[in-house]
């Protein structure tokens, strides 16, 4: 496995950095929005560090990867309490957290045993995880572990200085951040502060798939008055698509007849190879569901802005009204019933 390519000494350095972070407890004076960057020595791309634990519920150092990870984090922060929890694990990131022993997996405990380390008490056990959009948080690969080690070592440098001078991380402009960057000095690696502009990344393209012949056949159907509710959400049961591979969370496209609550369709889609590729399959699957029941509804109501944008061209093609609302009574009842069978 890729995560086992790390040498024992590299693991030792990672755990030593995590233990030192736990000892200084930067969450006692930092909030998760006190963000700074650290350059990845192997890729040159910065990650952006957020310290969590001010409320004492969960101690963690997260590093959001690249500009996408950073702006996904800010979007999540600004979305409010109604945001689905799945949004957090859709942000590309690495985390070092401090957990109870029973949260750790066998691989975690095996490394700790090989290192001869001992931990005792609640929220005392270091745990390291990689987050990739649509996948179950998983064990670190070698490059990820090396980068997380560097991040934790820079946490030890930056956070005490921030405690003494809270203006350290105050952005000079809206898109500027303090980033720790490395350089060679007298044959040795040294680190320095640099203020860097980090503009939002360009949105990733969504390749839309469509069965044109099926779409044309739907256009010939009479327009109905039926109202439909549709939603797209992460299914909470991860699956392993190949032996030894990182498990993925499939996503469900659910459509329900508004008045009766009758479920018209349930389609499970995979986020592998990317969320964007999966999103591009949604209009095609909606067309297939309509064709299966021989209907073009008069109205479709969706909750998310993403689903609204994906279905807008289809609404124009087929002539149904598309609405956006947080209130999907029939769909939410069907969703609760479906999830109850699997949880």
Is 178 within a domain? yes
Using CA atoms, how far apart are residues 139 and 73, in angstroms rounded to an integer?
21
pLDDT at 46: 97
Task: Provide the mean pLDDT of the chain.
Answer: 93
Q: Are the beta carbons of 38 and 150 closer than 8 angstroms? A: yes
Q: Are the beta carbons of 159 and 18 closer than 8 angstroms? A: no
Is 206 within a domain? no
- Give the single-character DSSP code of 122: T
**Same domain for 78 and 22:** yes
Is 297 within a domain? yes
**Same domain for 193 and 91:** yes
**Same domain for 155 and 56:** yes
- Report the alpha-carbon angle 140-176-183, nearest 5: 60
Residue 280 belongs to domain with CATH number: 3.30.420.10
**Same domain for 271 and 218:** yes
Is 11 within a domain? yes
Q: Are the beta carbons of 195 and 178 closer than 8 angstroms? A: yes
Q: Where a domain ends, among 197, 224, 239?
A: 197
Is 204 within a domain? no
324 φ/ψ angles, rounded to the nearest 5 degrees: -125, 130
**Same domain for 282 and 178:** no
Using CA atoms, how far apart are residues 140 and 142, in angstroms rounded to an integer?
6
Using CA atoms, how far apart are residues 207 and 117, in angstroms rounded to an integer?
49
Is 205 within a domain? no
Q: Are the beta carbons of 223 and 298 closer than 8 angstroms? A: yes
Using CA atoms, how far apart are residues 234 and 89, in angstroms rounded to an integer?
10
Model confidence at 19, pLDDT cuts 50, 70, 90, reads: very high
**Same domain for 230 and 169:** no
Averaged over 272-276, what is the pLDDT?
Answer: 93
The closest of 281, 215, 228, 236 to 255, measured between CA atoms, is 228
**Same domain for 155 and 30:** yes
**Same domain for 134 and 11:** yes
**Same domain for 217 and 181:** no
Own/partner pairs, 101-108, CB within 8 angstroms, 24+ separation: 101/125, 103/127, 105/139, 107/3, 107/139
**Structure token digits, residue 109:** 């405990």
Structural domains of the chain, count: 2
- Report the alpha-carbon angle 280-283-285, nearest 5: 100
Q: Where a domain ends, among 197, 221, 251?
A: 197
Averaged over 249-257, what is the pLDDT?
Answer: 95
Cα atoms in the Cβ-side hemisphere of radius 13 Å centred on 199: 3
- Give the single-character DSSP code of 113: H
Task: Look at strands 251-257 and 59-65 and give their pairing.
Answer: unpaired
Q: Are the beta carbons of 230 and 254 closer than 8 angstroms? A: yes
**Same domain for 311 and 162:** no
Q: Where a domain ends, among 162, 197, 232?
A: 197
**Same domain for 130 and 234:** no
pLDDT tens figures, 29-85? 999 999 999 999 999 999 999 999 988 889 999 999 999 999 999 999 888 776 777
DSSP H or E run through 181: strand 176-185
pLDDT at 177: 96
Averaged over 142-171, what is the pLDDT?
Answer: 96
Range of the domain at 159: 2-197
Task: Using CA atoms of 8, 13, 17, 18 in order, give the dihedral in degrees to the nearest 10.
Answer: -10
**Same domain for 235 and 193:** no
**Structure token digits, residue 227:** 């109202």
Is 220 within a domain? yes
Residue 252 has pLDDT above 80, yes or no: yes
pLDDT at 172: 67
Cα atoms in the Cβ-side hemisphere of radius 13 Å centred on 329: 4
- How far separated are the first and last CA of the chain, in Å rounded? 30
Model confidence at 3, pLDDT cuts 50, 70, 90, reads: very low
Using CA atoms, how far apart are residues 8 and 10, in angstroms rounded to an integer?
5
């Amino acid at each position: 496995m890729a995560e086992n390519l790390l040498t024992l000494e590299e693991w030792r350095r990672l755990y030593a950095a995590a233990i030192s972070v736990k000892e200084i407890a930067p969450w006692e004076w930092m909030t998760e929005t006190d963000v700074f960057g650290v350059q990845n020595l192997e890729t040159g791309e910065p990650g952006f560090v957020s310290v969590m634990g001010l409320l004492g519920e969960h101690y963690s150092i997260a590093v959001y990867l690249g500009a996408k990870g950073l702006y996904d984090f800010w979007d999540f922060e600004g979305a409010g309490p109604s945001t689905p929890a799945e949004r957090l694990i859709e942000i590309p990131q690495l985390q070092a957290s401090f957990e109870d022993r029973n949260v750790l997996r066998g691989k975690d405990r095996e490394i700790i045993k090989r290192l001869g380390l001992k931990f005792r008490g609640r929220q005392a056990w270091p745990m390291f995880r990689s987050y990739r959009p649509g996948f179950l948080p998983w064990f670190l690969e070698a490059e990820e572990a090396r980068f997380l080690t560097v991040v934790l070592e820079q946490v030890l440098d930056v956070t005490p200085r921030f405690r003494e001078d809270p203006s350290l991380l105050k952005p000079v402009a809206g898109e500027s951040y303090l980033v720790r960057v490395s350089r060679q000095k007298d044959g040795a690696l040294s680190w320095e502060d640099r203020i860097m502009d980090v503009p939002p990344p360009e949105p990733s393209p969504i390749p839309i798939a469509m069965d044109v012949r099926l779409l044309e056949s739907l256009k010939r159907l009479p327009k109905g008055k039926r109202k439909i509710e549709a939603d797209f959400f992460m299914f909470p049961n991860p699956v392993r698509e190949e032996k030894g591979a990182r498990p993925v969370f499939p996503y469900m496209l659910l459509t329900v007849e508004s008045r009766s609550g009758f479920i018209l369709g349930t389609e499970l889609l995979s986020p592998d190879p990317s969320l964007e590729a999966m999103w591009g399959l949604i209009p095609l699957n909606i067309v297939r569901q309509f064709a299966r029941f021989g209907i073009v509804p008069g109205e479709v109501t969706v909750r998310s802005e993403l689903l609204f944008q994906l279905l807008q061209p289809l609404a124009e093609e087929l002539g149904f009204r598309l609405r956006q609302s947080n209130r999907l009574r029939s769909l939410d009842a069907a969703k609760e019933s479906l999830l109850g069978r699997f949880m």
